[in-house]
Structure 1
Amino acid sequence: MSRHIPQTREDVLAAIANREFLEDLVLDGIDLSGADLSGGWFERVSLRHAILRGARIERTAFRECDLAGADLSDIRLEGTALQHMQLKGARLHNCHFERVAFQDCDLAGADLSGSRLHYCTVQDSTLAKARLAGADCLRSCFVKCRAGASFDQCDLSHAVFVDCDLSGVVLRGSRLNRTALLSAQLDGHDFSDMELSYVQFSFASLRGCNFQKARLTGVGFLQCDLTGSDFSEARTGQCLFREARLTGARLCRGRFVCGMFMQASLEQADLSDADFSDALCEGASFRHCQAQGARFFRADLSHADLSHGFFAGADFSSANLHRVRREEAFMDRASFANSRGTDPQRARSEDWLLQHRGDQDNEL
């Protein structure tokens, strides 16, 4: 007796009720709106331009299915995996996804406006030109994705992006609170006038980005490439720029009080009238920078390199200038009131430690 091949809405619902697997089927354009698909198993099923608006999809499995152009608006999906899915151009308005794993999915051009993606994982997927306007991505994780999507007015609080190519992404108006954008590609992005709180850009490429007049609190730029970026008139608080590359960047009139710039490169940067009061700049390089009128009040500049920099009228009051290099630096009218030079005892300790490490290396 030949197996009945589901072709209609009634056939599909009957197969699910009988706990049959739905495999290798073509159901393009089928209307499953409002249907209860809970417990169903769809594998290698073509549902192109199908209508699943408002369908109930609980404990439903989709694997290697083609839902390109399908209407999945208003669905609720929890605790499931969508693997190797084609969702290009799909309508996913106002959906509720919770603990859903999107693995190797094509979401290019998909519309997820107003949807909730809570605790979801999107991995090895493409979101090119996808629309997430007004979406809520609370604590979701995007890994190795091509995400040139629009996150306009999107809540990305506690969301994590790892090794994602975010070229062309739109973050304007989105909420970035404790968001992690690790090793992301964000060259040339515009963050001007935005408020970022405890965002982590560690190891990201941010060349030529615009942070002009941005308000940054606790933001991490650990080992980021910020070459040619613009932080002019930015207001920062306790931001981390450790080992960041800020070559040729503009930081003029910016406020970097209590910033952490250890081993950062600010060579050829414009620091005119910037405020680095109480900043930690140990081992940082300011070679050939323009820093007229800059303020380094109580800053720690131990082992910093100021060589060939232009520091006319700069304020180094109460700064720690231990072993600072300043060959051919222009310091006309600079203030050094109560600043501290090289500490002999510390210098001897450093020299001894360096020599001791060298002896150990030679023994090895």
Structure 2
Amino acid sequence: MPSVALASERARTELPPFSQAILDRYLDAHGRYIRGQPGGRRALVKYLQAPLLDFRGRQLAEADFTGANLERASLLKAGFERASFYCANLRGTDARHADFRQADFRGASLRGANLAGAKLDAADMRQAMLARADIDGGYHLWLQGDGADGEEMRFSVDLTNCSMKGVKLNSAKLKWANFSGAILHGADLSGADLTGAQFAGAVLTSARFDRLKIDPSAFDKCVLDPSQAALDRVPFLESLVNDNTRWVETNGKVGQPATLDGEDLRPLNALFAKRALTALSAKGCCAIGVDFSSAQLQGACFDRADLRDANFSSADLRGASFDGALLWHARFDDADIRPLALAGGSARDFSFKGAKFAAGCFQNSTR
């Protein structure tokens, strides 16, 4: 599907960005509006430029953010019931536990957003039908991609690589929505219209929806619950991990580094946190949502691993390698990612060449 960009009719430039102080005036006035207090005014902020700004905890029911740029803004626990995000840019936003019930997301981009725990019941995420006449106030659409010269274009809501754990999408309108790579663990899509929706590479563990109404090709490479074969390997893999810890604790006299290449580590979720696992090899493993927090993983190798939503907070990752890994929504807060000193005065760098991750993934890490 083509993408949408809004530009000035005359200069084809974006509106100047709001400062937090100016934005707060609009949000305060809207708060008074929904409480019925004097001086209240509905926030009609079409084409607003507010990337990286703070909406946390605000109550913005029925606000109009048509065409707005809210990229990487914080929407944590904010209320947006019945709000309009028609063709808005919400890429990389932190919208955990936000309330979007009955909100209009037609044609919006939420690529890489964190919507874990958000309420999206009856939200409208159908593709938008856009023509030049749809954009008023001196603005028009730049149409990019195939068919950009057409009179009318269709734009699907983009939920690529979103974290949508536990979201409620009951009866939502999700026609032609793109969930490729999204984390939908525990999501409830009961009764949602998923006509033409795409789930390639999505994490669908414990998700509730009617797969029989969706073309099987839409589920290419999606991740489901661990297989029985993976569950049967748990005792053996546990022994390898325990061996790795003994190897570290005895300075190499007993045990050896674990080789978990290509394994499904999700059934072992509680096994890795705070463990001594230096030199562990887990190339190409599936460790979605696995907890490695505070583990000693110096020199470990996670090349090409699927580590979406994994937790490496406070882990010692000196000299570790994550080349080509999927790291969407993984956490590395306060992790140590400095080079690892080796014998002879050399060092091994922390490496993540070709890895896919969101901005802020390595926040507060030691480098």
Higher strand share: 1
Q: Same fold (TM over 0.5)?
A: no
The TM-score with structure 1 as length reference comes to 0.44
Higher helix share: 2
Which structure is larger by alpha-carbon Rg, 1 or 2? 1
Q: Could you say which structure has the greater relative contact order, defined with CA pairs below 8 angstroms and 6 or more residues apart?
A: 2
The TM-score with structure 2 as length reference comes to 0.43
